[in-house]
Amino acid sequence: MITFLVSIVLLIVGYFTYGKYVEKVFGIKQNRKTPAYAQEDGIDYVPMGTKTNSLVQLLNIAGVGPIFGPIMGALYGPVAFLWIVLGAIFAGAVHDYLTGMISIRNRGAHLPQLAGKFLGKAMKHVVNGFTLLLLLLVGTVFVTAPAALIHDLTGNWMSLSVIIGLIFVYYILATLLPVDKIIGRVYPIFGALLVISAIGIGGGLVLTGAPVPEISLENMHPDNVPIFPLLFLTISCGALSGFHATQSPIISRTTKNEKEGRKIFYGMMIAEAVIAMIWATAAMSLFDGKSLAAIIAQGGPAAVVSEVSVTMLGAVGGTLAVIGVIILPITSGDTSFRSARMILADYFNISQKKLAPRLWIAIPLFIISFLLTKIDFTLLWRYFSWANQSTAMLALWVGAMYLKRSNKNHWIATLPAIFMTMVTVTYICNAPIGLGLSEMISYTIAGVTTVLVTMLFIRSKTNEQDALLVDDDRDVA
């Protein structure tokens, strides 16, 4: 139990210390007008309060990732705790803060526009493709996962296809309507349920004195699956997730003042890491590796969620906890499609003030996503994991280049960017869904690629003009 409590304390301390340092490095400008006011349109650019923005950001980024990912990551043993804590403080929260704040400085731009500005125009198209693929996968995964949980919770009295259809109806409304009409109003309520469910499980672990394994670097995975690079893709949303870079611009367009950024972007990533710690700890403490693997193999991570919730909180409390878990993917799925609409609108320079243009962009997205629901969830999750962490890697390089051009300490983003380059290239070289190469060849290719990318970044030249243009929002159209 000490391991769990110390991990939670470290995450909180990280917010008040390293988070403050990252904010200082970035250099907030409280008197600078944010996009919420400068581009206010009543649809996507709408000023909202700090509490609302924080809860919306938390629910946007916290899909099933900080629950399903840590549950599957728990198979590796306590080494998963290290990645959640260190990854969240030094990589994930830095990633979220920089993508959110750089977006604020650049007219609420999404990642493809920022990549085009800071990594070269060609990267705008590459990242646009990556981001749209990721958002479609996330939207699809976050339809099927909550639908399955609702199906089980209601005793199968409603068919799975009907539940999926109802979720899609909600997603369409949340994608098309102004951000403050649905998302801004219902998310604070959903946020309260999320917090209650997390506190319930976490409090239950402490009060019952659940046995928590002590920190160890030993690989306890029953199938002896290698820790590197798989652990760093399995646990993504609870430590570092490129999906967050697609969500932060939604809130960068509703943030009233730059001083709110640390709480909204850095702080909500730390909050998500706390959720990930709770579920990883619950999975490790209530099941040993072999039985956990059997439950996952039989019913997926959702079966572990149900088992943990009922065991810790009883029938009624367990049901409330499961409802909290259902809310997470739904409140990330809706903003996935909203982000995809906004990115396509920005890419093709299509005004979103009228409903018709929003509708014509959204309809093809939902048709593609519906077709993807017919694909096996496990396969979708594998592609999601790689696309997710590849997007995180690209977003970190954007943050590093922004800081370098601003003549600031870029290493806070550069070091995690280097690490994730090695992780993502190794995975796609070695994984069956990728090239299927041997581990040694994959490590070699990834190592060479990482060194080359790092050298290109270090040798890239900056000048006084670059420092002046980093926050020039005219340059991201």
C-beta of residue 380 within 8 angstroms of C-beta of residue 68: no
Domains of the chain with bracketed CATH = 2-385 (1.20.1740.10)
Q: Please report the pLDDT score of residue 331 as a whole number.
A: 74
Average pLDDT taken over every residue of the chain: 86
Tokens standing for 456?
């290109």
Q: Residues in the chain, how many?
A: 477
pLDDT in tens, 254-313: 999 999 999 999 999 999 999 999 989 988 887 766 688 888 777 777 778 778 877 777
Residue 29 pLDDT > 90, yes or no? yes
Which pLDDT tens digit goes with each residue over 193-203?
777 777 888 88
pTM of the predicted protein model: 0.87
Q: What is the pLDDT of residue 47?
A: 95
Look at residue 471 in the predicted model and tell me its pLDDT: 75
What confidence score (pLDDT) does residue 473 get?
Answer: 56
Q: How far is CA 425 from CA 107, 177, 414, 430, 451, in A?
A: 32, 39, 16, 9, 12
Q: Stretch 139-147: mean pLDDT, rounded?
A: 78
Q: What is the pLDDT of residues 364-406, one digit of tens each?
A: 998 888 888 777 656 666 777 788 899 999 999 999 999 999 9
Q: What is the pLDDT of residue 19?
A: 98
Between 318 and 166, the higher pLDDT residue: 166
Higher pLDDT: 418 or 123? It is 418
pLDDT bracket for residue 420 (50, 70, 90): very high
- Mean pLDDT along residues 32-61: 91
| pLDDT tens figures, 90-121 | 999 999 999 999 999 999 999 999 999 999 88
Across the range 402-413, mean pLDDT stands at 95
| CB 281, CB 66: distance < 8 Å | no
How far is residue 176's CA from residue 341's CA, in Å, rounded to a whole number?
A: 9
36-46 pLDDT per residue, tens = 999 999 888 99
Residue with the bigger pLDDT between 410 and 337: it is: 410
**Cα–Cα distance, 67 to 280 (Å, whole number):** 8
Higher pLDDT, 179 or 289: 179
Q: How confident is the model at residue 213 (pLDDT cuts 50, 70, 90)?
A: confident
